[in-house]
């Protein structure tokens, strides 16, 4: 009987490779005996439902990155970069640019405007005082806080700045006769002036703008210290940037042509 069973297993191709119950069973190829030197996995040792403990330094770093002091620090750094290189807010301190700009208005000044282009006649520009006087000594901390306040338009500049409209470019000849402004012999079209301002331009004035300077005037011609009176020509290297939009108050918000 045993011989018959053996003969059938050899004859049947589907069953001839089956192991005999009496033969020892080999281990599967993919199974390996555990090594005594292998270190247990931290994840395997952790109780179910818990995460592996993280270093205390990493937790402290994440807490600081999400803290209020860090956010304030980031805001200060951004304000410094923006004010120094890109855009600065400027507070309007006087009535010299009315009705275009009112006292207390705040405008944004593009500090890159003339790095990529030339000053244009009619531009409203902010420039440093061509004849600066002594400035107060506020100390390091108070001076830094004041500097930041200037950048957001809530503090007067430490060195007095001005905002005026460009009338004459380098090399231009400016004549003012009977309240009419002539640039290189041609009357200047000034739609931004009121009728009262047009009658306050002056008369009997003649200017030749130096090659490195600008001739500027306020829109409120009867109440503006500008290149006609006292201020003189504005050196190009004193120009801070071009005012392009009123940002405060909301009732005056809008672009400056």
Q: For the chain, how many structural domains are there in total?
A: 1
Q: Answer yes or no: is 60 within a domain.
A: no
Q: Answer yes or no: is 188 within a domain.
A: yes
Q: Please, what sign has the CA dihedral across residues 185, 170, 239, 160?
A: negative
Q: Answer yes or no: is 40 within a domain.
A: no
Cβ atoms 218, 99 nearer than 8 A: no
Task: Please list the active-site residues.
Answer: 96, 164
Provide the CATH number for the domain around residue 186.
2.10.109.10
DSSP-derived 3-state class of residue 213:
strand
Range of the domain at 118: 69-131+140-250
Q: Answer yes or no: is 6 within a domain.
A: no
Q: Answer yes or no: is 184 within a domain.
A: yes
Render each residue's pLDDT in the chain as its tens digit; 257 residues.
444 444 344 444 444 455 555 555 555 544 445 554 555 554 445 555 555 555 666 666 666 566 777 677 666 666 666 655 578 889 899 999 999 999 999 999 999 999 888 999 999 999 998 887 666 666 777 766 766 666 555 555 555 789 999 999 999 999 999 999 999 999 999 999 999 999 999 999 999 999 999 999 999 999 999 999 989 999 999 999 999 999 999 988 899 86
Kindly give the residue spans of alpha helices, DSSP state H, lying in the chain. 2-11, 42-45, 56-65, 68-81, 140-151, 195-198
Q: Answer yes or no: is 210 within a domain.
A: yes
Q: Answer yes or no: is 26 within a domain.
A: no
Q: Answer yes or no: is 61 within a domain.
A: no
Task: Please tell me the pTM assigned to this model.
Answer: 0.64
């Amino acid at each position: 009987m045993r011989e018959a069973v053996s003969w059938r297993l050899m004859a049947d191709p589907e069953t001839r490779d089956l192991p005999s119950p009496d033969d020892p069973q080999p281990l599967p190829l993919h199974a390996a005996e555990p090594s005594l030197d292998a270190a247990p996995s931290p994840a395997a040792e952790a109780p179910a439902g818990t995460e592996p403990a993280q270093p205390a330094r990493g937790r402290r770093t994440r807490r600081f990155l999400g803290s209020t002091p860090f956010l304030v620090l980031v805001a200060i750094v951004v304000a410094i970069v923006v004010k120094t290189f890109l855009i600065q807010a400027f507070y309007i301190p006087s009535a010299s640019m009315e009705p275009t700009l009112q006292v207390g208005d705040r405008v944004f000044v593009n500090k890159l405007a003339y790095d990529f282009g030339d000053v244009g006649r009619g531009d409203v520009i902010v420039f440093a005082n061509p004849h600066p006087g002594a400035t107060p000594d506020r100390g390091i901390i108070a001076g830094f806080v004041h500097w930041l306040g200037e950048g957001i338009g809530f503090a007067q500049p430490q060195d007095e700045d001005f905002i005026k409209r460009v009338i004459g470019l380098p090399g231009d000849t400016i004549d003012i006769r009977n309240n009419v402004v002539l640039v290189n012999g041609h009357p200047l079209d000034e739609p931004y002036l009121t009728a009262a301002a047009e009658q306050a331009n002056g008369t009997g004035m003649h200017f030749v703008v130096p090659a490195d300077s600008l001739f500027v005037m306020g829109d409120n011609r009867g109440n503006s210290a500008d290149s006609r009176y006292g201020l003189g020509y504005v050196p190009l290297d004193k120009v801070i940037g071009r005012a392009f939009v009123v940002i405060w108050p909301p009732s005056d918000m809008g672009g400056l042509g």
